[in-house]
Amino acid sequence: MKQMLATALLTLAFTVAAFAADITGKWKASIDGPQGAMDLVFTFKADGDKFGGTVASPMGDLPLSDIKVDGEKIEFTVATDQFSVVHKGTVAGDEMTLSFDMMGETRQMVARRQAP
């Protein structure tokens, strides 16, 4: 009985992991800023069940931290010495819809996966 329970739990764990969205690769987004449209390229890398990444922006490359993927939900932080912005959203195929708060305003953007 214990062996059956352990096998069932292990199978469930692999099944949940299999349903996590694949975020690896480059994702391009654009958001309006005070000086016009600002292009961003998010790059996500997987190392086992952990993720790392960067965002290329007009301010240079910034690290992504605290990256969490749960099913189709994603959350990560972009931080500099001056600010920290938490992004939350969903991944559906090759489209990532994100929202974040900046300067007291909730903003949204859509990032699209770029071909390798």
Share of the chain above pLDDT 70, in %: 84
Q: Where are the domains of the chain?
A: 20-113
62-107, pLDDT tens digit by residue? 999 999 999 999 999 999 888 899 999 999 999 999 999 988 899 9
pLDDT at 12: 39
Listed in order, strand segments (DSSP E) in 1-116 are 25-33, 36-47, 50-57, 60-70, 73-79, 84-92, 95-102, 105-113
CATH class of 20-113: mainly beta
Whole-model pTM above 0.85?
Answer: no
Beta strand 50-57 with 60-70 is antiparallel
